[in-house]
């Protein structure tokens, strides 16, 4: 059974600071996804990571994937209040299956 663990689950940080959210998963997988959810809203896709060493960046967010360590990171650079949201990683079960398992999410609050 695939398990996906995110940490921290809650993160309060000041504007301008850097921080990293971690996503560990328990079995070999082909794909890892990051999503953002604003309070009371639906989910928005941020990144799709498909191979070992993949790195993608969008604005102040950068995601990377280490398939050997079964670890993905979402790095936040110089946080701004608009980044306050809950961030989820999700991993597919591999072998061509598209069954997705999500982490519990990291609720990020950026304080002015």
Could you say whether residue 7 binds other proteins (CB under 8 A)? no
Per-residue x/- marks for other proteins, 35-74, CB under 8 A? x------xxxx--x-x------------------------
- For position 80 contacting other proteins by CB under 8 A, the verdict is no
Which residue among 13, 31, 75, 84 contacts other proteins (CB under 8 A)? Answer: 31
* Sign of the torsion angle spanned by Cα atoms 67, 69, 74, 76: negative
The C-alpha atoms of residue 52 and residue 44 are separated, in whole angstroms, by: 23
Q: According to the binding rule CB under 8 A, does residue 100 interact with other proteins?
A: yes
User: Contact 70/26 with Cβ under 8 angstroms?
Assistant: yes
Specify which residues 27 forms β-bridges with: none
Neighbours of 70 (CB within 10 A): 17
The least distance separating other proteins from the CB of residue 91, rounded to whole angstroms, comes to 11
Tell me the two tokens of residue 19.
Answer: 């921080």
| Contacting residues toward other proteins, per CB under 8 A | 31, 33, 35, 42-45, 48, 50, 88, 90, 97-105
């Amino acid at each position: 059974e695939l398990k996906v663990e995110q940490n921290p689950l809650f993160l309060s940080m000041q504007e301008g600071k850097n921080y990293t959210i971690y996503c560990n998963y328990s079995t070999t997988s082909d794909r890892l996804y990051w999503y953002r959810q604003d309070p009371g809203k639906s989910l928005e896709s941020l990144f799709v990571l498909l191979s070992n060493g993949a790195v993608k960046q969008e604005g102040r967010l950068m995601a990377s994937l280490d398939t050997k360590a079964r670890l993905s990171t979402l790095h936040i650079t110089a946080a701004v209040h608009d980044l306050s949201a809950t961030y989820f990683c999700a991993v597919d079960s591999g072998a061509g299956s598209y069954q997705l398992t999500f982490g519990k999410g990291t609720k990020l609050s950026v304080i002015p």
